[in-house]
Amino acid sequence: MTGARAALYARGVPRPSQQERSPTFGLLLALFITLAVVLAYSAYMTWQVTRLRQLQTELVDRNRKDSLQLLRIQNDLNLLAVAMRDMVSSDEPYPLTAWSAQFERIRTDLDDAMRREAGFAAASRTPEQSAFLASSFTQFWDAVDRVFALARERKEKEARAQIQLSLQERQAALSTAVARLLVQNSESEEQAGNRIVQIYDRVRRQVFVFLAATLLAIVLNSFLLIRWNRRLFARLAEISERRSELAQKLIATQESTLRYISRELHDEFGQILTAVGSMLRRAGTHAPEGSTLRADLQEVLETVQTTLESVRSLSQALHPVMLDEAGLESTLDWYIPNVERQTGIAISYEKQGEPFAVDSAAGVHVYRVLQEALNNVARHSGAKQAWVRLRFLEQTLELEVEDRGAGFPERPSRRGIGLVAMRERAELMDGQIVFSHPNEGGTLVHLTVPREKAESHAKEDHSVARG
């Protein structure tokens, strides 16, 4: 028997010690490795998404909030510039101390804006920049206090000289510093966008590697990726919808405020100045012919008339009453010649089609788009001629503003707030606005509004404002 077994083993029958081992260990090891890879990749994905979310919320949102405060500071500096210009103007009959209350209000708002901005300051901001900004504001307000101290001592001439020699230069330097910080924020936001793109690229490469490793990882991580993408796009859609709603409410509130201020200027201040003018005329009739009193009264009357015209012009600029009373077409007929006189730009105005009544709310949006477009022509294009075309078509209302100036840069470093506002107004009317470059050069702004929206948009706009 023993010899027979030996013969069998000799012919190649495996011994019990040479039989194949159980695959259980290998399967368990493979399962463990697969699960470890899945868990490691899931942890990696979670870490990347968390990092992306932190980058978006902590850096981008913080940077935008900081930019808003910088814009608030810049607006206050512009108000100070206007006030200082009026203070040194020889046309102003008021003493310099009359501006102290306005400076105090602006100072309070600037202090609040500086405090908030310091909390949102970007990580790229150096302590030296923050210290320089704070020190510059401190020096500016010290100079302001010295000017008003001279004014209270009735040294008006010296105070005005200090304004021209010191305050205006300091204000210009502060405006430049704030503008540089805004540019720096824009660059930081662009860098954050690049980092976000890099994170997405790195995740995509890891997905490809993992897909090549195991089919199970492909399935699991595909579901994870779909899930995260759906959540991300849902969030983006929600943010976009909220932004659109906020834009509608902001524009509606802005127009309501401008309309209220315009009416107050036109009605209250206009009536007061008209009454003052009437009283001055009556007083002038009682003054002796050829007397200095009569000449002084006539001079004051002319000043009152000039102020009345300025108030009315400001009222029309804020919100033309003609838009509510006579409609869009008549308002443009009045507005465009005024722009020609104020800017010196020759504007060719063309109307086509059969005019129809445009609702006042839609008319405000069209008027604001035209106003912003012509402002851009006057400020940035350098053109001396422009073309405005208003078309009343069967299905749409179209507005075109064209110039042969410098045009928009192909890759602007920052998108102007005016262009954004024009797009938002077009969207509020379910319309479309296109900025293009004609073959002849310059810029062409083309606004298209559906006729039904132009005629019925006011009801929706008011409902949004009430909501």
Give the chain as a 3 state SS string.
CHHHHHHHHHCCCCCHHHCCCCCHHHHHHHHHHHHHHHHHHHHHHHHHHHHHHHHHHHHHHHHHHHHHHHHHHHHHHHHHHHHHHHHHCCCCCCCHHHHHHHHHHHHHHHHHHHHHHHHHCCCCCCHHHHHHHHHHHHHHHHHHHHHHHHHHCCCHHHHHHHHHHHHHHHHHHHHHHHHHHHHHHHHHHHHHHHHHHHHHHHHHHHHHHHHHHCHHHHHHHHHHHHHHHHHHHHHHHHHHHHHHHHHHHHHHHHHHHHHHHHHHHHHHHHHHHHHHHHHHHHHHHHCCCCCHHHHHHHHHHHHHHHHHHHHHHHHHHHCCHHHHHCCHHHHHHHHHHHHHHHHCCEEEEEEEECCCCCCHHHHHHHHHHHHHHHHHHHHHHCCCEEEEEEEECCCEEEEEEEECCCCCCCCCCCCCHHHHHHHHHHHHCCCEEEEECCCCCCEEEEEEEEHHHHHHHHHHHHHHHHC
User: Which tokens belong to 332?
Assistant: 């443009």
Q: Which pLDDT does position 123 carry in this prediction?
A: 58
Q: Which value, to the nearest 10 degrees, does the dihedral of the CA atoms of residues 254, 259, 260, 262 take? A: 120
Angstrom CA distances, 353 to 7, 179, 391, 393, stand at 111, 45, 6, 6
Q: Which pLDDT does position 447 carry in this prediction?
A: 94
Query: Rounded CA gap, 443 and 431, in Å?
Result: 20
Every domain of the chain and the residues it spans? 26-213, 250-318, 322-466
Single-letter code of the amino acid located at 351: K
Angstrom CA distances, 23 to 18, 31, 216, stand at 15, 12, 20
Query: Rounded CA gap, 418 and 424, in Å?
Result: 10
Query: Rounded CA gap, 161 and 182, in Å?
Result: 31
Non-local (6+) Cβ contacts of 169 within 8 A are none
Is 170 within 8 Å of 139 (Cβ atoms)?
yes
Q: Which pLDDT does position 415 carry in this prediction?
A: 54
> What does residue 430 show for φ and ψ, rounded to 5 degrees?
55, 30
> What does residue 454 show for φ and ψ, rounded to 5 degrees?
-65, -30
The pTM is what? 0.43
Query: Rounded CA gap, 169 and 133, in Å?
Result: 15
| Cα dihedral 167, 313, 364, 391 sign | negative
Query: Rounded CA gap, 104 and 99, in Å?
Result: 9
Q: What's the chain's length in residues?
A: 467
Q: Which pLDDT does position 397 carry in this prediction?
A: 92
Give the full edge-to-edge strand order of the sheet including 432-436. Answer: 346-353, 385-392, 396-403, 443-450, 432-436
The per-residue pLDDT string of the chain (467 residues; one tens digit each, 9 = 90 and over) reads 444 444 434 444 444 444 445 455 554 565 677 677 767 777 777 777 777 676 666 666 777 788 888 888 889 889 988 888 888 876 767 788 888 888 899 889 988 888 888 777 755 677 787 788 888 888 888 888 888 888 888 888 888 888 888 888 888 888 888 888 888 878 777 777 777 777 777 767 766 776 666 666 556 656 665 776 787 788 888 887 787 777 777 777 877 787 778 777 767 777 787 888 788 777 777 777 767 887 777 788 788 788 877 776 777 667 677 777 788 888 888 888 888 888 889 999 999 988 888 887 888 889 889 988 988 898 888 888 999 999 999 899 999 999 988 776 555 545 567 788 888 888 888 889 999 888 888 899 999 999 888 875 444 444 444 44
Q: Do the strands 432-436 and 346-353 form a parallel or antiparallel pair, or are they unpaired? A: unpaired
Whose CA is closest to 156, among 106, 107, 93, 81? 93
Query: Rounded CA gap, 177 and 165, in Å?
Result: 19
Query: Rounded CA gap, 207 and 201, in Å?
Result: 10
Fold classification of 322-466 (topology level): Heat Shock Protein 90 (3.30.565)
Query: Rounded CA gap, 94 and 232, in Å?
Result: 59
Is 384 within 8 Å of 421 (Cβ atoms)?
no
Q: Which pLDDT does position 63 carry in this prediction?
A: 76
